[in-house]
Amino acid sequence: MPPIQAPMYPLSMLSSHLLALLFGSSYVGSLYVAQNARLRFSTRTPDTQQRRYMPGSRDDPAVIRARLTAVTIATLFNCAVLYALITRSTAPSFDSSASILAILGVRWPRSILSCLQTPVLFLGPLYGSYLAGTLPGQSQYSLQHDFLGMFTTWVGFRNYVWGPLTEEIVFRAYVLAVYAMGGAARWKMIAFAPLVFGLAHVHHAWGTYNRLGRTKDALRRAALSTVFQTAYTTLFGAHTSYLFLRTSSLIPPITAHVFCNIMGIPQIQSEMRQFPAQKRTIIAVYITGIALFSYTLVPWTETPGSLYWRAPDAFWRAAMQAS
């Protein structure tokens, strides 16, 4: 019996790494290349509401529009690069039937349960919101402020619509596609792709440092917040990468991204201080959420025939047969 020949992947692992960095750096770099998208800082110390809409600030509608335009162009540019790589490879289609859209995860997931993975993990924060009465239908929930105000402003559109959409396209679909083209094992894709996503948030340190006054204390706070944000986004990126690989769909990662942006960082200590009588229950619900998340992670994301959750050589088996 002749030895089994290793599949010849279109890219080397080094090329996959470099392309992943290109996708990430071009996305972030577009915010600084476009002049109107750059932040401007003032030496004044306005209050929170004034700072939010100060001309040139991160939440200035003009800056948001410029930044959304910049990342859209970067996303389209990276799509063109990926399209050229795929069409010039020895396997222009995966398993002789997959299209470019399928490679990018433009499809509905097999089960809606894959979109509920993140809400299960956030069972504790959701319980905290319930105690505060801020869930939909409760006394402290406002349709005008908490829903319409969230999705009909430029800040809301950036945070909950266009930001999650373009980031998941670039940092999940594009990055994982080039790693698959390099023959990376699944665990490597789940490990490497989130690093690119985490590093893409390091640039926030510059804005934090300037916003806090460019002092030594500002530098320390910027460094600490950036380390935490990078670690958090890297872990989140690992989760959404897993969702994408398991389902071969961008819908679960996008819904997870939107949901996390809405919920924010879990505040268990703040919730226990606010509701001391429910302290043990809050801890129990947090633990229950983590346990249920772990228990449902595999069955809820099960997708028979997933384009990405196969052995790595399945991507390019057609090319090997053709050659």
90 pLDDT tier (thresholds 50, 70, 90): low
Quick check: is 8 in a domain? no
The percent of residues above 90 in pLDDT, for the chain, comes to: 49
pLDDT mean over 227-255: 93
Quick check: is 158 in a domain? yes
**What's the half-sphere exposure (Cβ side, CA atoms, 13 Å) at 21?**
6
Quick check: is 70 in a domain? yes
Q: Given this model, what pLDDT does residue 44 score?
A: 55
266 versus 48: the higher-pLDDT residue is 266
- For 49, the domain range is 13-322
Quick check: is 7 in a domain? no
Quick check: is 4 in a domain? no
The percent of residues above 70 in pLDDT, for the chain, comes to: 86
Tally Cβ neighbours within 10 Å of residue 310.
17
Quick check: is 308 in a domain? yes
Q: Give the pTM.
A: 0.87
Structure tokens at 92: 């222009």
Count of structural domains, the chain: 1
Quick check: is 239 in a domain? yes
SS (H, E, C) 113-181: HHHCHHHHHCHHHHHHHHHHCCCCCCCCCCHHHHHHHHHCCHHHHHHHHHHHHHHHHHHHHHHHHHHHH
Buried b (16+ CB within 10 A) or exposed e, 116-140: bbbbbbbbbbbbbbebeeeeeeeee
Q: Given this model, what pLDDT does residue 7 score?
A: 55
